[in-house]
Structure formats: C-alpha cells, structure tokens
Structure 1
Amino acid sequence: LWKQDPTLWKPADSAHQAEIKIRMGWLDVVDLMLTKVDEMRAFAAEIRKAGFTRAVLCGMGGSSLAPEVLRRTFGVAKGACDVAVLDSTDPAAVATLERWSDPAKTLYIVSSKSGGTTEPNVFFQYFYKRVGAKLGDAAGQNFIAITDPGTAMEKRAREHGFRRIFLNRAEIGGRYSALSYFGLVPATLMGIDVGKLLKRAKRMMIACGPTVAAAQDPGLYLGAVLGTLAKAGRDKLTFVVDRKLDSFGYWTEQLIAESTGKEGTGVVPVEGEPIGRPASYGKDRIFVYVRLDGGLERAVQGLSRAGQPVVAIRLQDAYDLGAEFMRWEIATAAAGWVLGIDPFDQPNVQESKDNTVRLLAAYNEKGALPDPGGVLPASAADFAVRLRAHLKLARKGDYVAVTAYVERTPAREKLLREIRTVIRDRFQVATTVGYGPRFLHSTGQLHKGGAANGVFVQLSAAPVADLSIPGERFTFGVLEAAQALGDYESLAKRGRRTMRVALGTDADAGLRALMAAVNDTGKPARRAAGKAKKKPAKRAVAKAKTATKKPRARAVAKKATPRRRAAPARRGR
C-alpha cells in the first residue's frame, strides 16, 4: 500500500493497474498540504479583507461532501466566511442559494476535479451571469476554481479572470480528496484551523504506517473487518454517530459506496437511519459507532448485547475528523483488497452521465424528454396498494433505497427519516435515502455496479418555478428530470426492482402522501426476537482509539454489563 503498488488490487489486469497507479496521491497528500497551510490562510485573509462574508461552493461528490461535513461540524468562526454547498440541480435549491447570497458580495467556489462535471459548470454559468449584471467585467473576481491541472475548468477560469485558481494534485481521486485543496480551501475560509486538522491526519498516517504490525494498524484493521464481514453477508455498514458529528456519514457514504460497489459486490453504507431497537435489524448489519460525547452509548450497547457486531471509534474532539478522513481512506482501500475489486474506479458513474447527455440532446432536438411511462402519481387511489406490492419485493438481506429528486429541506428530511424508519421496522430491511442528483456521484455506483440486492423508490416533483441556464436550451428543471430518467434507465437495464413516483408540484404534500401509504402497507412484520432474548449472544465490539493516542484497533469480547452507567441516548435519535 505505502509503496503505491497497483498490483495489490488487480494483479492480472494491466488496464486497472495503469489507472490505480495515477490514483494513489492521497497517501502522501498530508505532507504536501502541510506546506500549503500558510498559503491557504493568506488567501482566507485576502477574502476577508475584500469584504466577502459568504461563499457558495458549486460542486458534486468528492468536491463538496468533505466541505459540507466540516461546515456542519465546526460551523463558521467569528469574522470568517460562511460557506454553503450547492450540489443540486433542483430549481428550488438553486433559487434558495441565490436568495441567500448577494451576487456582488459573495465568493463562488467552482470545484471539480475533472473540470467537466455538468453540475458545477452550469452553476458557474448561472451565477456568473448574475454577478456580471452587477460587476460587469470585474465579475471574475468573485470566483475561484479548484480543479486539476489542464482541465477545461482551469482554462475557463483564466479566460474569465477568476480571483484564484487552486490546482490540485492530479493523482488524487475525487472521493479521496478531503485532505487536499478540495476540502481544505473551503475549510480555511470557514475559519477552521486546517493545520491542526492536518496534524491529526498525520498522526493517523503514522499509526497506519508501513512499519506498524497489521493487527495494530487502525486503518488496515477496519478495512479487514468491513471486507470480511461483507463477504460473510454483513454488508450493510450502518453508521451511528453522535449528534455533533452526524454529517460524517455524508462523506463516508460516497467513499465506501463508490469504492466498493462494483463487480456485483460491495459494502452498502447506511447513513442517517434513526437507531432502532435490536429487533429491527437482521443478520446483514455491521454497526460503526463514531463517538464524541457518548450520547448514543446506551443504544449501541443494546445492539451489542443482541449480538450485532459493533465497531466503536472514539474521537477526542471535532479535529479528529482529520484522522478519520485518513483512517477511512486506508480502510476502504483495504476492504477493496479483501473484496477483490479496484477501489479507485467508478465504472458505472459515467453511464448515468452519458444517459443524461443523450436525453438532453433529445430534448434540444424535440423540445421534450422521452417518456418511458410507468410513473405512479402519489395521489393515485391505488398508490398504497402498489407501493406495498413493490416493497414486498424486498427479501432478507436486501435494502430499500429512496432516491428523491427534490430540494433538501429540514421538513423533508424529517419526513424521509420517518418513512425509512417505518420501512425498516415493517419489512426488516436496511434503508438509505439519497437526494438527486447528488447521490449519483455517491451511492449511484453501488446501485448499478454492486449486488442486485436493492429495491428502489425514485421520487420526483414538478418544479413550481423553473430557472433558465445561460447558454443552454434546457432549464435546471429539465436537467434534473433528465438525470432522474437517465438513472432509471440504468437501473431498468440491469433489472433492478425500481418504482418511479411523481410527487406533483407540491413535494411536501407528495411526501406526506408517501408517508401515509407507507403506514398503510400492513401490520409490522412479526419480530423473531422472543426466543433469542432469553440467551443473548456474546457481543463483539471492535474498539478503535483515535490517532491522538497511538491508535490501535482490536477485537475484544466483554460482558454485557458496562463498568459505569452510560449517558442516556439523546431524544429523537
């Protein structure tokens, strides 16, 4: 691993080896970025001096998820720049960010490794026109780019006079780029001490170094656990995260799903699913408890006493996220080795992108997207009956994925949490929720390239007010619809069990109808917990200390009774 030897994963495949060889820069990026800390701090000071107090990060996947995790975890330091992430083509989401930002006083961060990703490019086109209307030829001074050398985005940034262009190391894949310019420039603007973050990452890097025994290597050990249990049928990696860190799963979800979900196998990350009673879970689960304040300790102990495998990772403070970025990247690479796949490619992500391009070309030619039919309105009289029939297709060991092409709002997040909780408890399956098109750059690879154990419910809403994209014949609403249809075509081609649901123009009302239909899918399945309760299985808890104190990861068998009383679980979790 540390020699960056590409034959480790695909020893007999020269094509894979050539690609892997140019994707290993994440292993030593920490040392490189430690030399860039002063540069990034000076830039943040320049932005403050120029009067910018808000920034919009226009990106997708690996370019946006780490900054979002850091923003939600740390907040914004006094006097620093507040950074909001735009990773949705939903017209309402774009309009919300437009209202939040004053074009003349906002910094726009256009972030894309390849420089050719559709979403950040159309976001740039949209906001550049609005800034230009106020600032004229000086509009470029409100934009910066983060991209690889030689991309079309670098060229465009130079042509439009961007304030700054950060050229990232090309040998780093997007989902492995949290500790590069992609994650750290936005973090510095927020006022986060990126030097401290990198030093924590460095400690983990040393703890996982080439001279460390394999059983004492926290990254390698975690990857071995994930890969081995996935091969044994426990492929639903379920995150239980203390409240302050509850967005951490956004980033790990993409890292794990896109890295392992291919060649008919993979680890299914389950992020954001409310923690339930032990009887709610089957034998396809492994739990990771990311612990900061211990608010969920009691609930996790209940899972462990019930015989569920639990990996416990204790963080000292939020800056240990730097260590966790490194740990999970190494663990994912190791899990890929166990599963026998290449953890650095994403063969099916491009397929959905190509579908979208083809569908948009058809729209430009005919003025309408193709209509394959089969969309079920949430208002249909038989909606609950047909939804029940679809969900009953889920078998033991499957998961239900709800993909929602709507603007993400707190009210909708709450509804979707309730919906997935009912589905989990009633059908005894793991559940995931992804917002489109964001999830296409995350779990989309797993949906198409992983095992055929997903049951999909695709939700879409008609835009109340659409937005034009400067220089394009299609609107944001048409783009979002094309992305949803393109993803459906990819799933249908593989015979995935998929239902398309139209929420109508009122997405909130449509989701409430979905909630009512889910509640009407029958009585809860009989739980087979009675007999097992008398004699609970021994728990297996793998504890992994943080790199701050020479991290180790070891499997231990303990009695069920803790030495001291744990803090109660937080309400609502």
Structure 2
Amino acid sequence: MTSNPIDERQSAAITSIVESQSFSLGKYAAAVHEAYRMMDQQGYVQRLWRKDPSLWKDDPAHQKIIRNALGWLTVPEMMLGQVGELETFAERVRNDGFRYVMLLGMGGSSLCPEVFRRTFGQVEGYPELLVLDSTDPATVRSMEHAVDVARTLFIVASKSGATTEPQMFYQYFFDKVSQVKPERPGANFLAITDPGTVLEQIAQQKQFRRVFLNPADIGGRYSALSYFGMVPAALMGLDGKEILERAVSAAQVCDPSIPVEENPGARLGAILGVLAKHGRDKVTFIIPPPVDSLGLWIEQLIAESTGKEGRGILPVAGEPLDSPGVDGDDRVFVYIRTRDVTDRDTEANLSALEAAGHPVVRHVLRDGQSLGREFFLWEVATALAGVLLGINAFDQPNVQESKDNTKRLLEVYRREGRLPEQEVLIEAEGCRVYCDAQTKAALQQSIQRKQATGSLVAYVGAHLARAGAGDYVALMAYIQENVKHNDLLQAIRTHIRDALKTATTVGYGPRFLHSTGQLHKGGADNGIFIQITADDIEDLPIPGEPFSFGVLKQAQALGDFQSLWNRHRRAIRFHLGRDIVAGLNTLLSAVRQALPLGTAADEKRL
C-alpha cells in the first residue's frame, strides 16, 4: 500500500473507526503520546507497509522469517477477488447434500473459524460448522457423534501441512468416511495449506474435493482473513464480501499517510507496547456475546507474537470482571462489544477501574461482521507493539520445544508400550500432584517453615504462595471442554485472582500450546503454572499409528511440562483421576482452603 493523501472515503472510514474507539490512559498518556511522535519520526507505519524487516530485527536470520511473514497486510484485497469463487464452491457443497462441515486444525488454522462459529451459529440453509482442535478422546468422540460422517465435509487445515493434530484427525476421520463411502472417501475432504506441503500431496493422492493453497507469506496466527478463515466462512453461509470489505476499510485507515495518533491500528499498538514497558503487561479482555469468542483469537495473536526473549504481553481472556480491588497494577482492560449491547454493570466497573488508575481501551463494533475489521486492527497493533518491545512478532521459537519433547515421548511409547512415569509428590482424595525435584524441595521447605503437614491443601497453597507482584497464574487443562468443566475452572481462577490479586488464565490443551504456550516458555519468568490432567474413561485408536488419542494427549501434556521444568518455571501437575468433575472440585476445595477469603458465598460448592 502506498502513501497517498487522505481521500474523502478514507477520511470517512477513519472517522467511523475513531468514533468507535476510546482510550483512558491516565498517567501513561504522556508516554503514549511520546511514542506516537517517535513512531511517526522513525516511519514505523511506512516501514510496516513496505514490509521492511529491519523495523523489527537487524540480523539476517530474523529478517528472513519476517520478510516471508507480512502477506497479511494485503490479503483482504486479494481475498475480495476470490469471494465469488468461494460462494460458488459453497453452493456446490450445499447442493451435494453436505449437512456438516468439520474443520480439523490447530491454532491459527482453527481459531478464526471457531470465532465465526460461536458468533454466528448455524446459518439457515447452510451446513453446520464444527471445529475440532483437541486430541482429547472424549472430544474427538463427541465430534464424531455430532455428525453424519457420510454427509460431512472435512477441512484439513495446516499451514505447514505437517502439524501433528490435524494429521491425526484426518487419519481418524478418513478411516470413518472410508467405511461408509469406500468408492471415493476423498470427496468428503478439502485441504487448506501452503504450496508444496505434504498435505497438498496427500490431498492429491486421496482425491480431495478441493485444495486451497494459501499465500506462503502469511503466518498461521495472522491468517484469519486468508483462505484459512474465509473458506469456512463461505461454507457456513457468512457474507464474506462484507467481512472482507470491513477489513479493507481497516487497512485503509491504517495507511502510512495517516499519523500514528489518528491511525487506529498503529495507535493501539503504541498503547499496548508502551503500557507493557511500564509494567502494564496483562491485557484483560471483557468481550460480551455475540463476539465473546474473539478473545480466543486475540489471545493467540498477542501471546505467540510477543511472548519471547524473556518478555511479552499476557492476554487474559474469559476472566470475570470485578471491582478494582481484585486487580493488580499490571493490568490493561480492553472492552469490545457490538453497538447493540449495553451493560450498566460492566460500564460501572470499567469506570471504577479508570478512576482507580487502570488504563481502559474500548472498541464498539457495528455487528459481528466487523470481526473483519478487528482482525486487521489487532494484527497491525500486535506487529507494531512487537517493534516497541524489541522482538520479532512473527516467529514462535519456543513452541517447537514442547513438540520435540512430545515426539521423544512417543518414541519411548513405540519402543516400550508405555510413557515414562513421573514421581508422585502427593496422592490424596483420588488426585495426584507431580513436580520436579527443585519444585518439590521449594514446596516442602515452604510447608516446613509454616510448620504445616504435607497435605494436598498445603502443597497447593505453597505453590500458589510463590506468586508475587506482576506474576500470573495459568491453569492448563488437558480435559474435554464443556460447561461443567468451564464453570469449575472459572471458579478456581476467580478465587485465585481474588485472593492473590494476580491475573489468571485458563487454556485447554493442546489448543493453548499453539498460543499462550509460546509465552509460558519464551516470555518473562512470571508465571505460576498448574497443569491439569486426567485419566481417559474411554480411548480412541488412531488408524495407522501405534498410539491412541489418549496417549498422544498425555505425551503432549508431559512434553510441555518438561519444557516448563527445563526452563525452571514454577509448575506442578494436578492429576484428577477418572472423575474429572470430582477432581476439579477437589482442586477448587484445596484452593479455597489454602487461600481463604472468608465469605460464605465463596465457599459454595459447584
């Protein structure tokens, strides 16, 4: 995009977006405005649009990665030219009798479609979209039971074409379709991938219905407005033209001709970057329905883009909003709503947070189709926040650590028929706690200082007591995502936040490995981690593999835990046993006893 004088259409778009954004920066306003001036002076936005890798890093290795990761800047316009073809393809799929579309993917390949699914639901007359991004056997089984596989179009989505999870999902469901449509099972599959990948070869060999080759210069978490997001959108009947036009409008108002202070994406990036450098590095999202799932997508974008080199911005999604007294001075609050949603309680709480000195950012969307606009604005903001933090916003150097550990564990399983066992720290009430030797010594020393007994409550309390100012607590749950589990995890995180005044996150594994997992390992050493695992009541074999989904999930959990241990992160593993609800209640009870708040309402058992 070239730098041109602002035309009337662009000016109107700027006015529209600026009017839908507001910021309360308090004592940080002067520092943010100084950043605006510096970014203009050094041509940040111009260099972004020129795709100049030296904006982020000077060394050739980083620049090579960055140079091949900026295609997202122009992909909305490119995709507008593909809308007609996508609509024709979607109509053909409808006419061929498909009632379901199931996307098989992870991270950047699955989160945008998941946001579309949760925001818009099923469009009348179009197939229902489902998204599978978990290796949990119960989750895979529930997805299978939710559809008629013979009338389901499966999207295998992977930028690299070699991501483990979608490959395993594909093998499982291709086998299922082959049993009911042996003549040509590939007709129930399409692939979205980069050119030249193994997945493209598989799709050709197995005669997939279609292969969409995405531009190779777009990273997974920046791919929402490419084929990875827009093919599922078309198949579920969304107005892709409108979504993309709003993204193009956002690109126009982020043009290099527009000063940073009036440039919505650059301005947001300046705010995020400056506040993070001043210790406000926990960006807490308050996003009511229908666009509440947008937090999942932004979470991955920010965490995986900024969480490296010992620094980063922690996105906090899904944490209940409360009075200022439960929040530390490391927060930034971001309120995103559609204009038809008003909530006096939320507004009152935000006003109280502002009065208490917390920065607050507000975005008001016209409707769900403005997700296209938000995707683009947050991409620009995250990329430029990365510049201010001095990091490469387009690599994920620590994600591979957990993958490599998982691969080694699966090799052990291939040889020995079981995964390595860890030493149990304590077993009680059907649950077990694991940790490394260094953590064990630290926890036992803490318990001895308090002259307490080594109970489950004591160990949980000693672990959480390690949290200090500026820290956060992460719950990493390798269990099925459902309402009951969500409610219990929310109760646990909320109690921890209220008791410790720390930010909390909840992530379902292995999904979070492709988002906050990068920040856990590559970001600052300010996390207190509780990994949550459980026995699988029923397991599912993976066709063509010697291991099951349950074994794969367990290897992923253990592999990530090993990465945390290797980096001396403060982490324990809480194993729930076979009864997940009972185990979560045990953990909740232990947290409440270890960190008493003293209110009867809080002691209510879920």
Which of 102, 105, 112 is the aligned partner of 2:158? 112
Aligned equivalent of 1:294: 342
Aligned to 2:499, which of 426, 432, 438?
426
- C-alpha distance in 1 between matches for 2:456 and 2:296: 31
**CA contact under 8 A between 2:119 and 2:289: conserved in structure 1?**
no
TM alignment of 1:365-444, pairs within 5 A: 365-374=415-424, 376-377=426-427, 379=429, 382-444=455-517
8 Å contact from structure 1 (residues 375, 501) kept in 2: no
Structure-1 separation of matches of 2:212 and 2:289? 33
Distance in 2 between the 1:395 and 1:98 partners?
A: 44
Give the TM-score normalised by structure 2. 0.85
Give the structure with the larger helix fraction.
Answer: 2
Tell me: CA distance 1:315–1:518, structure 2 relative to 1, closer, same or farther (3 Å).
same
Measured in 1, the distance between the counterparts of 2:337 and 2:539 equals 42
Structure 1 residue 306 corresponds to structure 2 residue 356: yes
After superposing the two structures, state which structure 1 stretch, 260-269 or 49-58, moved more: 49-58
Shift of 1:211: 0.7
CA offsets 1:8-35 (integer angstroms, 9 cap, x no match): 1002x11100110000100000111000
Contact 1:375–1:499 at 8 Å: present in 2 too?
Answer: no
Superposed displacement of residue 377, structure 1: 4.5
Is contact 2:316-2:503 (8 Å) kept?
Answer: yes
CA contact (8 A) 1:63 1:113 kept: yes
> Residue in 2 aligned with 1:74?
120
Query: 352, 360, 364: which is aligned to 2:410?
Result: 360
Aligned-partner residue type, residue 398 of structure 1: D
Shift of 1:509: 1.2
Name the SS for the 2:113 alignment partner: helix
2:248 maps to: 202
Q: Does 1:351 align with 2:401?
A: yes
Are the equivalent residues in 1 in contact too, given 2:107–2:300 (CA < 8 A)?
A: yes
1:297 Cα deviation after fit: 2.1
Sort the Cα spacing of 1:20 and 1:228 in 2 relative to 1 into closer, same or farther, 3 A: same
Q: Which among 309, 315, 327 is matched to residue 281 of structure 1? A: 327
- 2:372 maps to 322
What stretches of structure 1 of length at least 5 have no aligned partner?
527-573
In structure 2, which of residues 583, 587, 602 is the aligned counterpart of residue 510 of structure 1? 583
Q: Which residue of structure 1 aligns with residue 533 of structure 2?
A: 460
Alpha-carbon shift at residue 280 of structure 1 (Å): 0.5
Q: Residue deviations 1:215-267, cap 9 Å, x none?
A: 11111111111111111111000001122211110000000000000000000
CA contact (8 A) 1:428 1:525 kept: no
Aligned partner of 2:382 in structure 1 is 332
For residues 13-32 of structure 1, the aligned pairs below 5 Å read 13-32=59-78
| Aligned equivalent of 1:476 | 549
Is the partner of 1:104 in helix, strand or coil? helix
- For residue 54 of structure 2, what is the aligned residue in structure 1? 7
Q: What do residues 289-327 of structure 1 show as CA deviations (whole Å, max 9, x unaligned)?
A: 112213232222221122110011111111111100000
* Contact 2:285 2:336 (C-alpha < 8 Å) held by counterparts: yes
Matches within 5 A, 1:234-273: 234-273=280-319
Q: Could you tell me which amino acid in structure 1 is paired with residue 288 of structure 2? A: D
Once the two structures are aligned, what percentage of the paired residues are identical? 54
Find the aligned partners of 1:513 and 1:267 in 2 and give their Cα distance.
32
- Indicate the residue corresponding to 1:85 in structure 2: 131
Distance change in 2, residues 1:470/1:284 (3 Å): same
What secondary structure sits across from 2:192 in the alignment? strand
> Is 1:101 aligned with 2:174?
no
Distance in 2 of aligned mates of 1:305 and 1:388: 33
How many correspondences in the alignment?
525
Q: Which amino acid aligns with 1:337?
A: V
Corresponding residue of 1:219: 265
Query: What is the distance in 2 between the residues matched to 1:443 and 1:311?
Result: 22
After superposition, the CA RMSD in angstroms is 1.3
Query: Are residues 376 and 72 of structure 1, via their aligned partners in 2, closer, same or farther at CA, if it must alter by over 3 Å?
Result: farther
Output one character per residue of 1:427-477: Cα deviation in whole Å (capped at 9) or x when no partner.
110000000001000100000000000000000011000100000000100
TM-score normalised to the size of structure 1?
A: 0.90
CA-CA distance at 1:378 after TM superposition:
6.1
Matched residue of 1:200: which SS?
Answer: helix
Contact 1:376 1:502 in 2 (8 A): no
Cα distance in 2 between the residues matched to 1:409 and 1:418: 14
SS at match of 2:507: strand
Please identify runs of 4+ aligned residues in structure 1 that moved more than 6 A: none
| Preserved contact between residue 496 and residue 595 of structure 2 (Cα < 8 Å) | no
Q: 1:128 and 2:174 equivalent? A: yes
Give the aligned partner of residue 107 of structure 2.
61
Contact residue 377 and residue 503 of structure 1 kept, 8 A: no
Rounded to whole Å, the distance in 1 between the matches of 2:332 and 2:321 is 13
| CA distance, structure 2, for counterparts of residue 65 and residue 318 of structure 1 | 16
Q: Deviation string for 1:311-370 (max 9, x for gaps)?
A: 111111111111000000000000000000000000001111111111101100011111
* Mapped pair 1:520 → 2:593: yes
Aligned in 2, Cα 1:90/1:378: closer, same or farther, shift over 3 Å?
A: farther
